[in-house]
C-alpha cells in the first residue's frame, strides 16, 4: 500500500480558517484531511462540506465521529451527502467516543465494542442502498433505507487504541486510526492488528494519528506541543503511562490542574518523557526520524495532528518541503 499523508484539524477556529488550511494541504500534495467531531467545536459536517466545495482532489472525513451523539443512520446519510458534494472523496472515521464528553451530555458510554461493530454494519448496509432490519444490542433499526447512494464505496476507518478495539478494527475496518505518537505504542498496536487481520493485513490502511509539532527552532516546536500533551496525559489510562515509564503521581498532578482550570500548573508539570511518549516534535530532520520509525513498524498513512506547529501554515509548508519528500 503506498504511503499516504494527511492533516487533522480541530474545528476550534472559524470554518473559513479550516478551509484555508485544508486547501493549502491539497495544494502541498497531502492526501487526506480529517476533522475532529466534538459538540463544543464547529460542526464537523459543515466544516467538511465547506472544504469539499473549495478543494478538488484531497479525500476528507470526520476523524472521528461516534455512534452515541448521532444515530449511525444519520451518519450514513451525512457521509453519503459529503461524498456527493465532494465528487466521491469522502472517508468515514468512527470510534467509541470520549466518555468525559458524553457524560457532559448525559449520554451513557455503554458497550463500546458492540456500539462500533453494530454501527459499522448498519452504516455499510445503508450505504449500499439496502433496506435494513437490524436488532442488535446497541442499535435497532426497522426497514431503514437511504433513498440515494454515495458515488463510491466509502472507506470506513475505526479509531482504536485498546487491544480489543484494535482487534475489532482489524476485522471490520478498511483502516485503523491509531491515536498515538510513540513507536512503543505502534509496536504493540500493529502487532495486535497484524494477528487479528491475518491474510487481509496488507489491505488495511494503518493510520498514525499523531500529535505533531514541527519548527526549525526545536524549542518552539516543543512549546507548541506541550499544551496538547498535557491534555493527553490527563486522559491517558494507567497502562499507557506505565508503558512509557511515566509515574501515575506525575500524571495526576497534570490531570488535577487541568480539571480545576489551572493550565499554568498543568503545562509546567509536563515532563520531557511525557512529550517523547505522546508527541512527535522538533526540527524537520528530528520529525522525519520519528516518522521513519513508525513506517518501519507498518504504518501506511501519517496524519499530522494538533498542534502541527506554532504557525500552522508555515508548519504545513515545512512538512511538505522538508519531511514528505524524504519518504517519496
Residue 201 located in a structural domain: yes
Strands 156-159 and 140-144: unpaired
Give the domain range for residue 61. Answer: 4-217+281-327
Average pLDDT score over residue span 157-186 = 96
CA separation for the pair 228, 297 (Å, rounded): 25
pLDDT at residue 99 in the model: 82
Q: How far is CA 76 from the centre of its chain?
A: 19
Residue 165 located in a structural domain: yes
Does residue 168 have a pLDDT over 90? yes
Residue 273 located in a structural domain: no
CA separation for the pair 221, 228 (Å, rounded): 12
40-72 residue pLDDT tens: 999 999 999 999 999 999 999 999 999 999 999
pLDDT at residue 326 in the model: 97
The 10 Å CB-count burial string (b at 16+, else e) for 63-75 is bbbbbbbbebbeb
What are the φ and ψ backbone dihedral angles of 80, each rounded to 5 degrees?
A: -70, -40
pLDDT at residue 98 in the model: 83
**pLDDT band at residue 1 using 50, 70 and 90 as cut-offs:** confident
pLDDT at residue 328 in the model: 83
pLDDT at residue 316 in the model: 98
Residue 27 located in a structural domain: yes
257-279 residue pLDDT tens: 998 999 999 999 999 999 999 99
Residue 316 located in a structural domain: yes
Average pLDDT score over residue span 93-114 = 91
CA separation for the pair 218, 191 (Å, rounded): 32
The torsion angle over the Cα atoms of residues 270, 238, 182 and 231, rounded to 10 degrees, is -40
The torsion angle over the Cα atoms of residues 94, 99, 104 and 110, rounded to 10 degrees, is 80
Find all residues with CB under 8 Å of 284, minimum gap 6, and list them.
214, 216, 318, 319, 322, 323
**pLDDT band at residue 85 using 50, 70 and 90 as cut-offs:** very high
Does residue 216 have a pLDDT over 90? yes
Does residue 287 have a pLDDT over 90? yes
CA angle 308, 68, 225 (to 5 degrees): 15
**CATH code at position 80:** 3.20.20.30
Residue 257 located in a structural domain: no
Does residue 285 have a pLDDT over 90? yes
Residue 170 located in a structural domain: yes
Sheet strands (E) in the chain: 4-9, 32-35, 59-62, 92-94, 132-135, 140-144, 156-159, 175-178, 205-214, 280-282, 301-308
Residue 205 located in a structural domain: yes
Does residue 237 have a pLDDT over 90? no
pLDDT at residue 103 in the model: 85
Share of the chain above pLDDT 90, in %: 95
**What mean pLDDT value characterizes the chain?**
96
Among 125, 193, 197, 129, smallest CA distance to 163 is for: 193
Average pLDDT score over residue span 14-43 = 97
**pLDDT band at residue 80 using 50, 70 and 90 as cut-offs:** very high
Residue 213: C-alpha distances to residues 12, 121, 281 (Å): 18, 36, 5
| Tally of domains in the chain | 1
SS3 199: helix
Does residue 283 have a pLDDT over 90? yes
Amino acid at each position: 500500500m503506498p504511503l499516504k499523508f494527511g492533516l487533522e484539524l480541530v474545528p476550534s477556529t472559524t470554518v473559513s480558517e479550516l478551509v484555508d488550511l485544508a486547501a493549502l494541504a491539497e495544494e502541498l500534495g497531502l492526501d487526506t484531511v480529517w476533522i475532529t467531531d466534538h459538540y463544543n467545536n464547529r460542526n464537523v459536517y459543515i466544516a467538511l462540506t465547506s472544504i469539499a466545495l473549495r478543494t478538488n482532489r484531497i479525500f476528507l472525513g470526520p476523524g472521528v465521529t461516534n455512534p452515541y451523539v448521532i444515530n449511525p443512520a444519520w451518519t450514513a446519510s451525512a457521509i453519503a451527502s459529503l461524498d456527493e458534494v465532494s465528487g466521491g472523496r469522502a472517508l468515514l472515521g468512527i470510534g467509541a467516543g470520549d466518555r468525559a464528553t458524553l457524560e457532559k451530555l448525559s449520554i451513557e458510554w455503554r458497550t463500546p465494542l458492540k456500539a462500533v461493530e453494530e454501527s459499522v454494519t448498519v452504516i455499510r448496509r445503508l450505504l449500499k442502498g439496502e433496506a435494513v432490519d437490524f436488532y442488535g444490542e446497541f442499535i435497532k433499526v426497522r426497514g431503514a433505507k437511504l433513498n440515494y447512494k454515495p458515488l463510491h464505496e466509502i472507506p470506513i476507518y475505526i479509531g482504536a487504541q485498546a487491544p480489543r478495539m484494535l482487534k475489532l478494527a482489524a476485522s471490520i475496518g478498511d483502516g485503523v486510526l491509531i491515536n498515538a505518537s510513540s513507536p512503543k505504542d505502534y509496536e504493540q498496536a500493529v502487532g495486535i492488528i497484524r494477528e487479528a487481520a491475518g491474510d487481509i493485513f496488507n489491505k488495511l490502511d494503518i493510520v498514525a494519528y499523531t500529535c505533531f509539532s514541527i519548527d526549525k527552532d526545536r524549542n518552539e516546536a516543543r512549546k507548541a506541543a506541550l499544551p496538547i500533551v498535557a491534555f493527553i496525559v490527563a486522559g491517558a489510562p494507567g497502562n499507557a503511562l506505565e508503558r512509557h515509564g511515566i509515574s501515575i503521581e506525575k500524571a495526576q498532578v497534570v490531570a488535577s490542574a487541568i480539571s480545576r482550570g489551572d493550565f499554568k500548573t498543568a503545562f509546567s508539570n509536563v515532563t520531557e518523557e511525557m512529550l517523547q511518549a505522546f508527541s512527535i516534535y522538533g526540527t524537520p530532520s528530528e520529525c522525519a526520524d520519528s516518522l521513519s520509525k513508525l513506517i518501519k513498524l507498518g504504518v501506511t498513512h501519517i496524519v499530522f495532528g494538533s498542534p502541527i506547529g506554532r504557525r500552522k501554515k508555515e508548519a504545513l509548508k515545512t512538512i511538505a518541503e522538508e519531511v514528505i519528500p524524504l519518504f517519496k
